[in-house]
Amino acid sequence: MPHILIVEDEPVTSWALAEGLVDDGFTIDTFRTAEDAWRWLQSGRSDLVITDLRLPGMSGLDLAKKLRRGRHAQPVIVVTAYGTPETLRDLRRAGVAECFSKPFPIDGLRRSVRDALVAATRPRAARVRAKA
């Protein structure tokens, strides 16, 4: 089963994300800060990360950048109530797979999760060709 890490400081949103995805057969772990998620990722493995953009301490954008620089190659999906054109540009540069504005459509998020997981399993050369 694919493992998804949810990083969200609002308990209701974290619960809604987990409930919306657990029926698809994913294993879910939730964290309230990016620092806690990052510490967990140093010894654990995740196939995909869903993170809020604004978090106490390290932001979701900073977490995405750390994941991209490190040995962690899993896709990142961001959910935010504070999306601006500049923020979206920064998220794309950080390699974020998708960004959803709150409130987000759970079906759209579920579809993006599945798509990102499939894309992550394709060989690198196939991903580059597909984008061309």
pLDDT tens per residue, range 34-54: 999 999 998 878 999 999 999
Per-residue pLDDT band for 123 (boundaries 50, 70, 90) equals low
pLDDT at position 37: 95
- Give the pLDDT score at 132: 40
**Domains within the chain, CATH numbers bracketed:** 3-131 (3.40.50.2300)
Strands 76-80 and 3-7: unpaired
Axis-axis angle for helices 11-22, 106-121 (nearest 10): 60
Helix (H, G, I), strand (E, B) or coil at 38: helix
Q: What are phi and psi of 101, to 5 degrees?
A: -85, 140
Strands (E), the chain: 3-7, 27-31, 48-52, 76-80, 98-101
Q: For 93-98, what is the mean pLDDT?
A: 89
pLDDT at 102: 85
